[in-house]
Structure 1
Amino acid sequence: MTGSLTANEAQPTAHAVQGTPVVPGVGYGPAIRPAPRPSRPDTAVEIAEDARDAEKERFRAAAAEVGRRLQARAALATGSASEVLAANAAMAEDRGWIGAGVKAIGKGSDAAFAAVTATDQFVAMFAKLGGRMAERITDLMDICDRVIAELSDLPEPGVPTPSEPSVLLAEDLAPADTAGLDATLVVGLATSLGGPTSHTAIIARQLGIPCIVAATGLDDVAAGTLVMVDGATGRIEIEPDPSTARSAVEESATHLAEVADWSGPGRTSDGHRVDILANVQDGAGARAARSTAADGVGLFRTELSFLDRDVEPTVDEQASIYAEVLTAFEGTKVVVRTLDAGSDKPLRFANHADEANPALGVRGIRIAEGNRGILHRQLDAIAAAAASTDSSPWVMAPMIATSAEAQAFAADVRERGLTPGVMIEVPAAALLADRILDHVDFLSIGTNDLAQYTMAADRMSADLAALTDPWQPAVLTLVAHAAKAGAAVNKPVGVCGEAAADPLLACVLVGFGVTSLSAASAAVAGVGAKLGTVTLEQCMAAAEAVLSTSSPAEAREVAAGLLG
């Protein structure tokens, strides 16, 4: 909230733009925008042949320094922010990108133009591939800018530190920028690009910053303009009435304070039990999540220990990392997801072949087809961590598409005395959930990928943001189908995608028969508090009603009418 009145406040000329809501809450203050990026050279400076080896080394050193800084930030961050920063650090030193730059220097280009040449080459390739690879374009452009700044002895590009609580507006944000935001100074966030499951959205949810993406007309709003963002409705008011804006902020703050007092356990107002769990990916994130009222861990992402490695981590190394999470949530439910790599998260040591469309290629459990040892060693590490901590984790595989895959995975898991399950991210798995449940003990629905694959829409595309909205009736129909299959055989079905972080949608999911909801730690209290205000009958009525709607907006409206 801002302080004294300004000239803009004295004569408000309010108008609004609309985007896709991501993180609920209201933020009000002057707009700030990211600092200008370094200029990308249009032409190369000719480097003499006898100086090219030195120029190549200068390019490699700049990229290595950028990677080092990002890795250092990853080590200080937790949760999704840490994972994204680690992936970007690996991208800064990607052999293919570095090789393209070195090749350009070998032809006489200077290092800065070589960075642009290599980036343009990979951006074109990522755009053609689409899907998750297209999501990395913003990340790669950010890496290029940071390398150019390093080569030019310029400050790192990024978001300025505001002197007062402000609203950050941007075309899009690099993960490194989003992960470093101070939620006490950046009280709202809106972008004109991105989607509801983009890196920006996921990190903003972890930080608890009201967030809106894919907002048309946002680029015309100048820095310094007073704006109010409503992360629940997607509405961005430009130069609103100051008293109305402040009242909205205070009302939102009061609601958030009430939510913060929620102490669990998860249940509806009439006593129907629902596990409210946290998504984590390392020991630090788990310890932070333990300070919330989360009943356990519904999604332990294990990628972090793999992504920045040239060689596969040993069983002992993995077991040590997994034990940190199991220890933090001793005596509670912990669901471990096996390695979800490939596509936008390549493994340096897995010898991935080039693919025409990596998002539809060898990722998740499919890596095990050609590298069975990677899966087996990870399961050995999980079993070792379980034994050392006297825990009984559940273990699930990502990207399962057939019952045969589920059967093979379940056999490997049970062989080690662990409880097997699978993720429902592929529409085929949702449709055949009953057959998959013949082989596993639980399902966990990943709504981010399920929405992307169901709607055939890149989740990073601003033009397609409405299609990847988790409120899409087609997506909810598949969720309902999978939940019904679980209920028929009395096996738990959870949701661990970003949909579970939306308090209103969480109630609808419970109405479908979902038995657990797992979200970023910052969202746990909001989901639990909302669930405690409604009955199971209300949830079921809302669930039935949204399946008859034809758009996300209609589904939200119908649910709000029944759930408050």
Structure 2
Amino acid sequence: MAAVMTGIGIGGGSAAGPVARMAPPPALPAPRAVGAADAPAEAAAVREALRQVAADLERRAAAASDAAAEVLSAQALMATDPALADRAEALVLDGTDGAHALAAAFGEFRAGLEAAGGYFAERVADLDDLRDRSVARLLGLPMPGLPAPGHPYVLVADDLAPADTALLDPAQVLALVTRRGGPTSHTAILAKILGLPAVVGCTGAGTLADGQSVLVDGAAGTVEADPLPQTVAEAAAREDRRRRRAAQVRGPGRTADGHPVKLLVNLGALHELPTAAAADSEGVGLFRTEFLYLDRAQAPSLEEQTAAYREVFTAFAGRRVVVRTLDAGADKPLPFATAADEQNPALGVRGLRTATRDPELLRTQLAAIAEAAEGSTAEVWVMAPMVSVPGEAADFSALVRAHGLRVAGAMVEVPAAALRAGSLAQSCDFLSVGTNDLAQYAFAADRTLGSLAALLDPWQPALLDLVRMAAAAGEAHGRPVGVCGEAAADPALAPVLVGLGVTSLSAAPSCLGEVRAALAARTLDDCRALATRALAAPDAATARAEVLRS
């Protein structure tokens, strides 16, 4: 019987093919002592290796697509960090050979990222890749990287770094499987952009051998080793039906009996704008504005923000754009907005709470949004992240309107907000459920931790109960309630969410076709019946199975 391994499914669809594993990193030679006379030359060689790795990454960035170019450039910046080179040089001057000095210096930086947790912990793979490339360059060894077996393959690795994922050719790479990684890793992000089936955090991936046949299901999060020919044929038939079904339905989202469900895209950076604007959507359901604030020592100016927002509003002229104000803190710390000494950043001053520390941050952002919206035909909505109590929603709505913006909303990402959604709806024009954080706080489970993926499954009945509460409160007060977390991208779950009362779904552009087709195949009554089945299930696996059988 074929062995089935599980992990975190990223993206829909499935693919079968032979395994090709990543080339291994260079092995460190035996340590050797470096005398004082040789230390300067050894230190210079270390610096040159780092410089050449950075230059190579920049060359790749120049030839890559916008999304890939951004991650490659960010990795090149890490390689040029003077603190890293200084530490490696100091180790060499103390008598350590260059290769071991590089490994030790990267190891210290790696420990710092792991201690920071969240998004930063997932960047550990980037540092490991830089270490391997730098050591290989210093020793004159072949660079680790993508295999080239001469035929299409399923790429299997411990994890993938930007330099690898940015060069993936969808014509050659059928699917991705990694032993490590989480839902916000580069592998996950780029798999969605490329539309590749992917399973990350698959601990059994290390047992897969080169050339071994596997079947990867990105929706179910499974990897089947040595599948039977009949199983592969059935999966291929399902994949063909999935693609044809997604391509057949166009236009505004609606159920089979005409109940409207707005289908919107998520937008996280300006380089994503062309793809997002070209998608068959009714606008943007989540415009993450953090990209303007990250990797800088001070907040962007009013003028810089206005120009960026205007570019988005122009691209979505005549359509809705829901702007989420700055969601700093937790896994997105900013030196000018968040404290460095918080013991538990995920439960600290983050999201809307940062405005209590620096009210001018929010005021400047709202002023920029209002200025960019002036004269635009885009329907601009503004929402606050991490709203916990009704008073925060009321104060935010008043501030939004004071800046001349007409539509203000609140995100439901905290169980308290879902439990008191009726009170939030009284002072807001709409609610938006962020299922990623809502699951994290409802189950006390770090959403970036792959080992807790089962708790963070959006099919969890307790999470669906919180969504139902928010949707019911919105309906009672005549307020639309959307979902913009990963749950909205699941075509099987979409009818359930609509059955719970959700009025819009926002996901990556590549996911909308399947979601649209799934809704078009069900009436509103069907959706409500599915929601009832899911809520009655004892766990996420049963809820999913019950709905898929219906």
SS at match of 2:422: helix
Query: Is the contact made by 1:26 and 1:230 (CA closer than 8 Å) also made in structure 2?
Result: yes
TM-fit CA distance, 1:28: 1.2
Counterpart code for 1:485? A
The residue that corresponds to 1:469 in the other structure is 457
Q: Do structure 1's residue 444 and structure 2's residue 418 form an aligned pair?
A: no
SS at match of 2:174: strand
Output the CA distance in 1 between the equivalents of 2:80 and 2:338. Answer: 17
SS at match of 2:547: helix
Map 1:355-394 to 2 at 5 A.
Answer: 355-387=342-374, 389-394=376-381
Q: Do structure 1's residue 426 and structure 2's residue 414 form an aligned pair?
A: yes
Map 1:35-46 to 2 at 5 A.
Answer: 35-39=23-27, 46=34
The residue that corresponds to 1:140 in the other structure is 127
Counterpart code for 1:399? M
Which residue, 500, 503, 516 being the options, matches 1:528? Answer: 516
SS at match of 2:427: coil
- Structure 2 unaligned spans of 5+: none
TM-fit CA distance, 1:535: 0.9
Task: Give the direction of change, closer, same or farther, for the CA distance of 1:261–1:352 in structure 2 (3 Å limit).
Answer: same
Alpha-carbon displacement from aligned partner over 1:28-57 (angstroms, at most 9, x marks no partner):
111112222233578585473995699389
Output the CA distance in 1 between the equivalents of 2:474 and 2:69. Answer: 33
Output the CA distance in 2 between the equivalents of 1:357 and 1:275. Answer: 36
The residue that corresponds to 1:453 in the other structure is 441
Map 1:483-502 to 2 at 5 A.
Answer: 483-502=471-490
Alpha-carbon displacement from aligned partner over 1:109-168 (angstroms, at most 9, x marks no partner):
556544433443344455455444433333433343344445555565433355322111
Instruction: Determine which structure has greater relative contact order: mean sequence separation of CA pairs < 8 Å that are 6+ residues apart, divided by chain length.
Output: 1
Alpha-carbon displacement from aligned partner over 1:201-232 (angstroms, at most 9, x marks no partner):
34322321112233342211111112111223
The residue that corresponds to 1:513 in the other structure is 501
Task: Give the direction of change, closer, same or farther, for the CA distance of 1:45–1:499 in structure 2 (3 Å limit).
Answer: farther
Output the CA distance in 1 between the equivalents of 2:539 and 2:42. Answer: 58
Counterpart code for 1:259? A
Identity among equivalent positions (%) equals: 48
Output the CA distance in 2 between the equivalents of 1:477 and 1:389. Answer: 38
Map 1:255-274 to 2 at 5 A.
Answer: 255-274=242-261
SS at match of 1:510: helix
Aligned residue pair count: 549
Query: Is the contact made by 2:8 and 2:450 (CA closer than 8 Å) also made in structure 1?
Result: no
Output the CA distance in 2 between the equivalents of 1:514 and 1:404. Answer: 24
Task: Give the direction of change, closer, same or farther, for the CA distance of 1:148–1:350 in structure 2 (3 Å limit).
Answer: farther
Map 1:228-247 to 2 at 5 A.
Answer: 228-242=215-229, 244-247=231-234
Which is further off, 60-69 or 362-371? 60-69
The residue that corresponds to 2:19 in the other structure is 31
SS at match of 2:426: coil
Task: Give the direction of change, closer, same or farther, for the CA distance of 1:109–1:182 in structure 2 (3 Å limit).
Answer: same
SS at match of 1:237: strand
TM-fit CA distance, 1:175: 4.5
Output the CA distance in 2 between the equivalents of 1:426 and 1:70. Answer: 40
Alpha-carbon displacement from aligned partner over 1:208-263 (angstroms, at most 9, x marks no partner):
11122333422111111121112233332222233542452244124213312321
The residue that corresponds to 1:190 in the other structure is 177
Which is further off, 349-358 or 408-417? 349-358
Q: Do structure 1's residue 203 and structure 2's residue 198 form an aligned pair?
A: no
Output the CA distance in 2 between the equivalents of 1:313 and 1:433. Answer: 33
The residue that corresponds to 1:547 in the other structure is 535
SS at match of 1:468: coil
TM-fit CA distance, 1:507: 1.1
Query: Is the contact made by 1:170 and 1:190 (CA closer than 8 Å) also made in structure 2?
Result: yes
So what's the TM-score if we normalise by structure 2?
0.88
Which is further off, 194-203 or 180-189? 194-203
Query: Is the contact made by 1:287 and 1:325 (CA closer than 8 Å) also made in structure 2?
Result: no
Task: Give the direction of change, closer, same or farther, for the CA distance of 1:548–1:114 in structure 2 (3 Å limit).
Answer: farther
SS at match of 1:457: coil
TM-fit CA distance, 1:513: 0.8
Output the CA distance in 2 between the equivalents of 1:51 and 1:225. Answer: 47
Alpha-carbon displacement from aligned partner over 1:81-115 (angstroms, at most 9, x marks no partner):
67766765665566876776566567555565444
Output the CA distance in 2 between the equivalents of 1:439 and 1:296. Answer: 24
Output the CA distance in 2 between the equivalents of 1:67 and 1:352. Answer: 34
So what's the TM-score if we normalise by structure 1?
0.86
Map 1:325-344 to 2 at 5 A.
Answer: 325-344=312-331
Task: Give the direction of change, closer, same or farther, for the CA distance of 1:224–1:512 in structure 2 (3 Å limit).
Answer: same
Output the CA distance in 2 between the equivalents of 1:352 and 1:98. Answer: 27
Output the CA distance in 1 between the equivalents of 2:428 and 2:58. Answer: 39
Query: Is the contact made by 1:86 and 1:307 (CA closer than 8 Å) also made in structure 2?
Result: no
SS at match of 1:437: helix
Query: Is the contact made by 1:32 and 1:168 (CA closer than 8 Å) also made in structure 2?
Result: yes
Map 1:89-108 to 2 at 5 A.
Answer: 92=79, 104=91, 107=94
> In angstroms, what is the RMSD of aligned CA positions?
3.3
Which is further off, 96-105 or 161-170? 96-105
